Amino acid sequence: MKKQVFHDATTGILIGLILSIIFSFIYSPSYYAPLSYESPVGQFMREHQVHGSLVLLYSTIIWAAIGVLFSFGSRLFAQDWSLLRATVTHFFLMLLGFVPLAILAGWFPLHWIFILQLIPEFAIVYLIIWTILYKIESKKVAHINQLLAQKK
C-alpha cells in the first residue's frame, strides 16, 4: 500500500512538473514558474518573497496530493459497489478534492463566481468523460461475454 501511494504521488509530481514546464514556457517564457503568480497563492508567495525552491517544493506537494487523489478515486470503482454509488462518490470526491487542490496549485482563481460557474462545467466534462469510458468498458464486457459464450 505504501509503495502504491508513493507511486501515485510520484506520478502526480511527474505530470504536474511536465505541465508546469509547458505552461511556464507559454505564459512566462523568460523564467520557470511552477505556479501562476497571478493566482492567489502565487501573489502571496511573490508578496512575501518566497524563494523559488520553496515555491517548487510547495507545488510538488500539491502535485503529489493530486496524484494520490486521482489514484484513490479510481480505486472506488474496484469496490463492491453499484456503478451509481461508485460514480456519485467518485464525482464528489473529485469535485471536493480536486478543485481545492487546483486552487492551491494556482490553476484556478479563488472567486466565488468562478467556483459556482466551475461546478456545472465540471459536471458536464465529468459526464462526457464518464460516458466515453462507460462505452469503452461496455464494449470490452460484451466482447468478453461473447468469448465466454463461444466456449460453452
Q: How far is 77 from 95, CA to CA, in rounded Å?
A: 16
Q: Which helix (H) or strand (E) holds 115?
A: helix 112-151
Identify the DSSP state of 152: -
Arithmetic mean of pLDDT, 125-131: 95
Report the candidate in 99, 100, 106, 98 with the shortest Cα–Cα distance to residue 69: 98
Arithmetic mean of pLDDT, 74-99: 92
Arithmetic mean of pLDDT, 25-33: 85
pLDDT digits (tens, 9 = 90+) for 52-64: 899 999 999 999 9
pLDDT digits (tens, 9 = 90+) for 65-83: 999 999 999 899 888 999 8
The model carries a pTM of: 0.83
